Chain A
């Protein structure tokens, strides 16, 4: 990975910025993850309670309907159920828990009074009332369980996502960025050293050339002087 990065100062600065951002992001996400886990634990406790209640309500409702079917007869219970006109309704709204949108379910017309269940009151019995009431309670519990368990699942999914992001930052992105930074720094240092060395060489070469030039000049001067001296002493036999 590090080989793909151009070892330039600009890239180094960009990587520094990214490291800074990633570290801040990592910290924030860690806090979010911890916060979500705490919220999740609360919801989990609630969900366990709701599940327990749901299970109890289901057992109770089954017992009541079984008793009603046994004592009043299946036909009577079916008839009473058929008389129901107003069916329960639910509406959902969104609620935000640490950035996670969870549903808030509002129910209406679940629990009914004696005259709202549709069947005549004068000729029916408490067994049917109690079976109807037990099923209304069960339905309330199911709606509550749906709300809590959906919230729990969404929170769990968000915790997983956040955890993956934290881990990706901690074990992948940040190490890579540090590696790239180190690579670029090393490269830049190397380049600097090479530059210094190159400059040194150039300087040496220049100095050498200068020296050679100087030497050559000296030699020329000397030879000129010799010529002059020779010329001034006359050439024997030349006068």
Chain B
């Protein structure tokens, strides 16, 4: 059967199809913690967690954030903190990808919170206290109502102060 497509249209179709080939590899991971057990996050669904300076690790709690379960740190005290990590949650990123990292956080006014992606170099975890060359990209929130900081680039800017602010890192302005 003779095709009704012109040579030009075939060319356009082939090029258009090739443009969509990489889209098959798009990946997305979401952690809403809603199916997690209450208590220590450590050991649940690939997550590790540990506290510092006598603090307990990150806990799964429910009810007071958005009426569902969430990851909570509430062990106040000088120098106390906790980290959580999920190694291998996604296969290593590719340098030509566009990456979106989005999260909701709720915080008091004096603490610091970091969320980021990084490279575990064999220690099995990436924490704030681990070697800085593992941190990759991270955003810092909290501290007086909201400061976003990219440590590698040392960029910072005030963010809207709110006890339940969602933050998204996007490749383009929404």
Partners in one complex: no
Residues of B in contact with A (beta carbons under 8 Å apart): none
